[in-house]
A = this chain, B = another copy of it.
């Protein structure tokens, strides 16, 4: 059965999934790169993002790797896809990830601004969904054909799926940094416990504390 998973989502000690002022120069917002220091050196990220062999093993790698296992489709917000805001001025922007993005499956991008699907090298196809989170999930579910769906982010997208009660499991990496502002993943009123989540796994490297929150049915 398809599960809806958040994986390798990094937050700061004060709960931000991106710093303020996202831009072409600062995709993760100001201070944002510090969130991902645990992930970047790992074997999984080196391979997925830079196409390089090698990289670190250990706890961080274990969590990075599980995020790619059995994923049949991705969903992401338009801000994760790129820095363009408002109507697309042209179709030049094709994502942060170069010719061959690390997804290799159908990726559903939530946006208010329609755009034709975009087929990339290596099997990634970006679909731009203007019908909202339920439509994106239905299409992802069909595309995943029984495998899991990964909600990539950012914070705004995850929050919407959480609020709708649609996420089965979240792996969150807490990075030892204070961002002060930016995109917050949970707000004070997000009572995850009342929504049935429990922390079922906890492990930390010297770069991040990893927790897995799972909804108990």
**Chain A contact residues, CB within 8 Å of chain B:** 13-15, 174, 176-181, 184, 186-188, 190-194, 197-199, 202-204, 206, 209, 211, 213
Judging by beta carbons under 8 Å apart, are A176 and B202 in contact? yes
Judging by beta carbons under 8 Å apart, are A213 and B178 in contact? yes
A193: chain B residues within 8 A (beta carbon): 14, 178-181
A208 vs chain B, min Cβ distance (A): 9
Q: Which of B14, B187, B192, B197 contacts A192 (CB 8 A)?
A: B14
A178: chain B residues within 8 A (beta carbon): 192-193, 197-199, 213
- Give 16 new A-B contacts, CB below 8 A, not counting A14-B186, A176-B199: A14-B191, A14-B192, A15-B15, A174-B174, A174-B209, A176-B211, A178-B192, A178-B197, A178-B198, A178-B199, A178-B213, A179-B193, A180-B191, A180-B192, A181-B193, A209-B209
Interface of A is mostly: loop
Closest to A16 in B: B193
Closest to A193 in B: B180
Closest to A188 in B: B188
Q: List 7 A-B contacts (CB under 8 A).
A: A13-B211, A176-B202, A178-B213, A180-B194, A187-B188, A204-B204, A209-B209
A203: chain B residues within 8 A (beta carbon): 206
